[in-house]
Amino acid sequence: MSLLAIDGLRFTYPGREPVLRGVSATVRGPAVVAIAGPNGAGKSTLLDLITGQKRPDGGIVSLQGRNALTMGREELCRMVAHVPQTIPADVPFTVEEVVLTGRIPYGRGLYENEADFAAMEMAMDRARLDAFRGRRFSTLSGGEKQRVLVAAALCQQAPILLLDEPSAHLDPENEALLWDLFAALKNAGHLILVVTHHLALAAQNADRIWLVEGGRLAADGPPCDAMRPADLERVFRVPFHWHQSEEGRVFLTYGR
């Protein structure tokens, strides 16, 4: 049974051309999958369809063999956690309280229980937020807020984690640590789908690349296969180059 299966997914916003035109892909087990493509290619819409925030015009999203459209909202949220691209403003809660919102799908009354607080502590530790726990969310920097949202998703303890450009506000240290966290989560049995424009980091750290072009998957495979320079140049309209260091490390650059 696959963790995630997408079959013929289609979606069109009113009055616009189709955004997704029959996307199909299957991920059978734990993995880090990077979703890349130009602006407007349909990457964020794809995540919204997997999480049930939008209904497809056609096609099916299956989570561990079940059609996502037949699942209740709380059940779906116990399966899939989502970190959106947009950071909410004016959130009147502390960091601890925001992270605890990840336990909403497990609500069993008015108050959190020991399992909820244990999940929060685990998420806070993994996101390195202990020093921020009493701070108001609204007082944090953009990168700190992004880490809090990631921690809230971890607190949700879902087997599938979707992140839409999670490193957009992070400095290099925290960006590298985020990819290390993805690897640790994969080793713990999770599937991570991450939308990113940082192709060099995706090439180095992802198990698999979904390259989105014109509402379709132009490539789906390991970085060495899915990120061929000719394909990337066609999709992004700028030259790409693979390089190898004297130590044998391979990395990707772009531009003339």
Span 211-229, pLDDT tens digits: 999 999 999 999 989 999 9
Domains of the chain (ranges, CATH numbers): 4-88+158-254 (3.40.50.300)
Span 189-218, pLDDT tens digits: 999 999 999 999 999 999 999 999 999 999
Task: Check pLDDT > 80 for residue 147.
Answer: yes
* pLDDT at residue 215 in the model: 92
Span 70-106, pLDDT tens digits: 999 999 999 999 998 888 878 889 999 999 999 999 8
Please report, as a single letter, which amino acid is at residue 179: W
* pLDDT at residue 134 in the model: 93
Rounded Cα gap, residues 47 and 223, in angstroms: 20
SS3 content of the chain, % helix, strand, coil (to 5): 40, 30, 35
Span 156-173, pLDDT tens digits: 999 999 999 988 888 899
Q: Could you tell me which of 104, 107, 156, 89 has the C-alpha nearest to residue 127?
A: 156
